[in-house]
Amino acid sequence: MGRLFWKVFLGFWLTTAIVIVATVVVLSLLVERADPERQRARQEARLETSAVTAQLLLQRGREELTEWLAEQNERGRNPLWLVGPDNRDVLGRPIPQPVRRALRSGRLDRFSATVTAPDGTAYRLFAPPPQRDKRRDRPGILAIGLPLAVLISGLVCWLLARHLARPVHHLQSATRRLADGELDVRVGPAIGRRRDEIAALGTDFDRMAERLQELLNAQRRLLRDVSHELRTPLARLHVALGLARQRGQGVDAELDRIELEASRLGELIDELLTVMRLQSGTDTPNFTTVDISGLLAEVVDDAQLEAAGKPCRLETDLAAGVQGRGDRELLRRAVENILRNAIRHTAPDTVVAITLQQQDTISITIHDQGPGVPEAELSRLFEPFVRVEGARERQTGGYGLGLAIAQQAIRVHNGTLTASNAAGGGLEVVIELPATD
């Protein structure tokens, strides 16, 4: 067990033990004070009633009084004492010390009364409260119950501390394993079916570990794909340069090829850096109020030339006056990349539909009439350098970074980007952005 366990256990146990002991002591003191007072009150009431009864019986004779007194003493725990002028009990019993002290003082107190016979003889009736038996007054809980309660509280606190500290130990162990490179470590199975904040922390840890694993795997794939993508244009550059050196003259075609490959290489590097900056969050977006309707109209107008070369038509259904908060250039690039991808893959002489609506969110839908994407590949469509198998792989141009840039740009705006195969054919990409108040 770690330090946290012992801190929690000892803290709980000490607090519980103090509360138990304090409660028992206070209750014992209250009982000690209240119980004698109740007994004294009962004795005073009994004395008052007994004095009236004894006075009446004396009118009939001492024998009836003696019989009544003996009967009362047999019934009750606290005896009555009737002392005659000779300072002797009428029943011949030894007089207890409290009664002797009262007789010597000669004064009446609240536990004694005077009873007078018809012949004028005065008797003293005593009803002293019972003497306290300290051994009997001490509650059994102090001798047996208190240690037992402390032990039970210790067991309960031990179980509670173990319940709290055990998942923390699992989290600590999993964190160390994650730091050592075990990216597949998870704490959910070890924590079990808990439904408290520690379980929520374990769920967040698993989500973090899963995200780290995805990012590192994506980084590895990215490095592998980058090395492959860069190797091809560089090889072409070397070939073109070699041919140019061999010819010496008339190398315009080779130089044009070198310029084209260098331009493609620069474009690839620019897109790659954009993806990396968006993923890492190193660039701070410039958020302003953006006219989404105007932005989409501008992007569609710029894409008309590319659509004409396909050929295909761009049809729009844009709600007017839609505004949102965001980085205008990032939003423009995201929409432009998705629209260009749709134009590239739509069938010739078909329509690419662009729709803008605003309800609870701002929704932008781009629907092409291409071959669609295999369902198994939809979840990977927005990953860098992903090449979709099947009909859409017949694309020309691009490096598989445009949709990755779009997804990262939409994430920066706390939006979502989803793709699905439309019922009538083609791919439908939907951008959801938060609506402004």
Rounded CA separation 254/251 (Å): 5
Please name which of 225, 257, 292, 258 lies closest in space to residue 435, comparing C-alpha atoms.
Answer: 292
Angle at 14 between CA 8 and CA 16, to 5 degrees: 100
Entry field: residues in the chain: 437
Please name which of 388, 345, 390, 380 lies closest in space to residue 366, comparing C-alpha atoms.
Answer: 345
CATH number of 3-134: 3.30.450.160
Indicate the domain borders of the chain.
3-134, 184-283, 288-434
Quick one: which H or E segment has residue 2? Answer: none
Q: Output the pLDDT for position 414.
A: 92
Residue 112 one-letter amino acid: S
Answer whether 3-134 and 288-434 agree in fold: no
Query: Helix (H, G, I), strand (E, B), or coil: what is residue 240?
Result: helix
Low-confidence ranges of the chain (pLDDT < 50): 134-138, 391-396
Q: Helix 402-412 and helix 328-345: axis angle, to 10°?
A: 150
Q: Output the pLDDT for position 289.
A: 94
Output the six-digit token pair for 57: 């019986």
Rounded CA separation 331/293 (Å): 12
Does the domain at residues 184-283 carry the CATH identifier 3.40.225.10? no
In angstroms, what CA-CA distances link 94 with 63, 66, 384, 389?
Answer: 20, 16, 109, 116
Please name which of 129, 56, 122 lies closest in space to residue 87, comparing C-alpha atoms.
Answer: 122
Q: Output the pLDDT for position 301.
A: 95
Over its C-alpha atoms, the chain yields an Rg (Å, rounded) of 49
Q: Output the pLDDT for position 69.
A: 76
Rounded CA separation 203/26 (Å): 46
Rounded CA separation 169/69 (Å): 76
Instruction: Assess contact for 302 and 340: CB atoms under 8 A.
Output: no
Q: Report the Cα–Cα distance between both ends of the chain, in Å, rounded.
A: 53
CATH topology of domain 288-434: Heat Shock Protein 90 (3.30.565)
pLDDT in tens, 260-302: 777 777 666 776 666 666 766 656 788 999 999 999 999 999 9
pLDDT in tens, 335-361: 999 999 999 999 999 999 999 999 999
Rounded CA separation 140/147 (Å): 11
Angle at 310 between CA 409 and CA 262, to 5 degrees: 60
